[in-house]
Structure 1
Amino acid sequence: MSRSPARVTLRQLCRLGLPAPLLLPALLPVLRELVPASHAAFFFCDEHGHIANLYAERMLPPRSMAAYHERHDQKRFRERFIQRVAAECPTSRHSVTAAERLEPYYQDVLAPLDIAHMLYAVLRHRGQVIGQLSLYRGGRDDPFGAANEQTLSDVLHYLGEALAVQAQQLTADPRKHVVEEALAVLDDDGEELYADAGWQRIVRLAQASVIAPVGAQKEIQSVPKFVRAILAALTSAPQSAHHVHSAWGEFAFRRHDMASHSGPPAVALIVSRLAAEPVRLATGAAAKGLSPRQREVAVLMAQGHSNQDIAQLMGITTNTAASYVKQIFSRLGVHERNGVAQALMQASST
């Protein structure tokens, strides 16, 4: 198995021990670097295809997701997922045919998300199905090939171990940074006048710890209510950020009043999704251009592991671990272990 930089970063992320909802936003982009795709999603579901939760880099609006549940969930997702579970190979691929483009499912689901080619993987942990990973390409892209399928197969063990970690209460970590932002312009009543492409998805992640087709109908009312509550909280404290925690992580909302000479008053609401230290260390190690082995050692150093710990975790000798530590000090221009963490954190923010 090759040790490409993307594969090393993926392994590092999978070993952080973070709950799956916190891990997925960082994991999917790295996976798409390993297997080129336009976007990806993970569906938490049982062997019968019942979707308990999902994380998608592109997401249908609540109304469309509710319609998907009513029209297509049973036939299109569950039946085909059960077939994938029963198949000998955990991965499969498919490209939309000319006939399928005429079907309602394509018009309701695939076309709005620009999905023409799919690469699937059923993930298991200790023999138990935990869900489906889906990689997507658009109509202008080439179909997934056998090499893409093999590359994905090679990392399924790591993915299954990582995404089986259940949500848990994490200690608050002040050392966080913004990894994505979105903006909406609202009127005095909290009604949307404008929202950018990422607004609805990030707000839905902040609003609920569970996102699934079966609950999408409720989101049609709950999401606007949630936004109005955020707006009210920021109205009473306009100079501060309002922080919200869900299973998907921490989100910060900020308000900016917009002056208007020709129309009604409006407010810009910005939401930021924040990432905690463990993810920053792994992405920072990737940004520094270290060799695959150096990156693994650097992350372990930054997490406070001794040379002996590193040797045991990586299956190398203590002398070899010490040699890597010296190389990392030289490459990062630091002289103590605390400096490694600081250098990786800074690199993740640039």
Structure 2
Amino acid sequence: MTRKRQLALIRKLCGLGLPAQTLAPSLLPALRTLIPSHSAAVFWVDDRFEMTGLYAERLLPPTEMAAYYEKHYQDAATGFPNAFHARVAASDPVSVRKLSKADQASDYFREVLSRLDAHQILYGVLRDGSRPIGQISFYRGARDPEFGRRDQEMLSGLLRYLSFGLRPQPSPARPLAQAEVVEEWLGIVAKDGAAIIGPPNWSRLVRLLAMEKVAPRTAHDELRVVTEFLRRICARLDGPAGAPIDQVDSQHDSPWGRFRIRAFRLPDGEGRAQDRVGLLIGRREPRTLALTRGAGASGLSPQQREVALLLADGKSNREIARTLALRPNTASYHVKQVFARLQLHNRDEVEPVLLRLAHEGIVELGRDDDDARGAS
């Protein structure tokens, strides 16, 4: 996707009106195609600049996050509230920090930043009007090129849209219409809920499932809450009358979105039951978000992308003309162009094609992340 199309996509995503916690997991990977970095994070704050929650593509484990809160969070030099206050007071809402050798010798770097491979950080202050509401951060490793003026200008130009899309707002009264699973990870736990093995992304999804908010202040409770959540999932394999069940599929809603969990018993090497459970966890993306990403990846013109989204929503040519303030003949022309560009024959094909394009975009981003990890 071209830089211009990616910019248009991010502006569109930020204008969908989705809850910030639902938007962030899909928005950050899209942002990293414009601001190359191995990961990114969003931090939300209250009026006292205390961190109320965060979403990070790379998360410290709960015990390490709790240790950060106890030792570093309020520190005069490295603490979050003081550092955020300084960024808010600066004339430029965008700033860069490259860790010096002296920085890298500190406990804060060894115990926190090095675990995240955060040798360089690009910051942007998010505001709702004049009121600071949070911070977005992008991270690069020691071997990555430095954040330059182009990266800073890119973030500066996007801050207005990001501030709107990532502003805290109430959860919708009704569940959002969900599309397909956009990421899925497998882990193994004991039946008492204790995690045995799982990749970092599986652990991230588990924490989003179990916790309404992820924040350093509540990190000391996370392990207990997550373990109890996993224990309840595993208990479903015992069945309503205590009869063992081999597999259970379930769906869970949280402020972070909708998740699918597939729990299944793991036999030992000789096929006998044992006290281990496989948990395949998938995060679903709201339909409107997936369709928007698919339209952005379609190669259609800006007007045709809007028409394609309305077609996917079941709108007639007359309704499309009314919504986009077009003449009926002009709307019909754009509909024909969408069909021709996407090689479609009827309106029912538009939604599946946009969802397929959205899925292919997620797969491509995953390949890019794997390549970046291999190079670092």
- Please point out which of 217, 220, 228 is paired with 2:220: 217
- Between 1:186-195 and 1:156-165, the stretch displaced more is 186-195
Q: Tell me the CA shift for residue 167 of structure 1.
A: 3.2
Q: Tell me the CA shift for residue 35 of structure 1.
A: 1.0
What residue is the counterpart of 2:67 in the other structure?
A: 67
What residue is the counterpart of 1:227 in the other structure?
A: 230
Whether the 8 Å CA contact 2:191–2:235 is kept in 1: the answer is: no
Residue type of the alignment partner of 2:15: R
- Between 1:317-326 and 1:73-82, the stretch displaced more is 317-326
**Identity between Structure 1 and Structure 2 (%):** 39
Residue type of the alignment partner of 1:220: L
Structure 1 unpaired stretches of 5+: none
What residue is the counterpart of 2:374 in the other structure?
A: none
- 1:82-231 equivalent positions in 2, closer than 5 A: 82-164=85-167, 166-169=169-172, 171-172=174-175, 175-231=178-234
Judged with a 3 Å threshold, the aligned counterparts in structure 2 of structure 1 residues 297 and 170 are, in CA distance, closer, same or farther, namely farther
- Between 1:26-35 and 1:262-271, the stretch displaced more is 262-271
Q: Tell me the CA shift for residue 15 of structure 1.
A: 1.7
1:20 counterpart = 2:23: no
Q: Tell me the CA shift for residue 309 of structure 1.
A: 4.6
Q: Distance in 2 between matches of 1:127 and 1:304?
A: 39
User: How far does the alpha carbon of each residue in 1:275-304 deviate from its partner, in whole angstroms, 9 at most, with x for none?
Assistant: 121111012123333344433442344345
Structure 2 unpaired stretches of 5+: 240-244, 361-376
Say which SS state the counterpart of residue 347 (structure 1) adopts.
helix
Say which SS state the counterpart of residue 6 (structure 2) adopts.
helix
What residue is the counterpart of 2:288 in the other structure?
A: 278
Whether the 8 Å CA contact 1:234–1:254 is kept in 2: the answer is: no
Say which SS state the counterpart of residue 164 (structure 1) adopts.
coil
Q: Distance in 2 between matches of 1:342 and 1:183?
A: 27
So what's the TM-score if we normalise by structure 1?
0.91
Whether the 8 Å CA contact 2:120–2:141 is kept in 1: the answer is: yes
Judged with a 3 Å threshold, the aligned counterparts in structure 2 of structure 1 residues 309 and 240 are, in CA distance, closer, same or farther, namely farther
Whether the 8 Å CA contact 1:311–1:317 is kept in 2: the answer is: no
Judged with a 3 Å threshold, the aligned counterparts in structure 2 of structure 1 residues 318 and 60 are, in CA distance, closer, same or farther, namely farther
Q: Tell me the CA shift for residue 61 of structure 1.
A: 0.7
What residue is the counterpart of 1:254 in the other structure?
A: 262
CA RMSD of aligned residues (A): 2.4
Q: Distance in 2 between matches of 1:220 and 1:193?
A: 13
Q: Distance in 1 between matches of 2:330 and 2:83?
A: 48
Q: Distance in 2 between matches of 1:7 and 1:209?
A: 30
